[in-house]
Structure 1
Amino acid sequence: MTIKLKLELASGQSLEGAPLELLSKGVPIARGVVDKQGGVTFEVKSAKTELAVRVDRSVLKTG
């Protein structure tokens, strides 16, 4: 199954290059990197569970 997301921050900061993890029950099941347009694609096996996305916020620049 392909899961596509588009991310936009209210601050207007870009997430380009940010590593993301797709989680199932708190366990990473797929990884992706945000592209120039804010999109990320995850390839996963079909799952009947709640999913969450975790962003490594340490890559975000402040200022």
Structure 2
Amino acid sequence: MAINLTLELASGQSLQGAPLELLVNGAPVARATVDKQGRVTFDAKPAAGQLAVRVDRSILKDR
């Protein structure tokens, strides 16, 4: 199953290259990296539960 997202920050900062994790019920099930248009695609097995995306915000300090 593919889950596609487009991300934008209110500050206008780019998330290009940001490492993301897709979580199901708090457990990571897939990883992906944001492209230069702010898009990301997670390839994950179908699962029931609450979905969330976790961003490693430490990379934003250098931008």
TM-score by length of 2: 0.93
TM-superposition CA deviations, 1:25-56 (whole Å, max 9, x none): 11110000000000000001111111000000
What secondary structure sits across from 1:32 in the alignment?
A: strand
Query: Which one is further off, 40-49 or 10-19?
Result: 40-49
The residue correspondences of 1:1-63 to structure 2 (distance < 5 A) are 1-61=1-61
How many residue pairs get aligned? The number is: 63
TM-superposition CA deviations, 1:3-28 (whole Å, max 9, x none): 00000000000000000000011111
Normalized per residue, which structure has more helix? Answer: 2
What secondary structure sits across from 2:4 in the alignment?
A: strand
Q: Which runs of 4+ in 1 moved over 3 A?
A: none
RMSD, matched Cα: 1.3
Identity value in percent: 68
What secondary structure sits across from 2:16 in the alignment?
A: coil
Give 5+ residue unaligned stretches, structure 1.
none
Tell me the distance in 1 between the aligned counterparts of 2:3 and 2:57: 21
TM-score by length of 1: 0.93
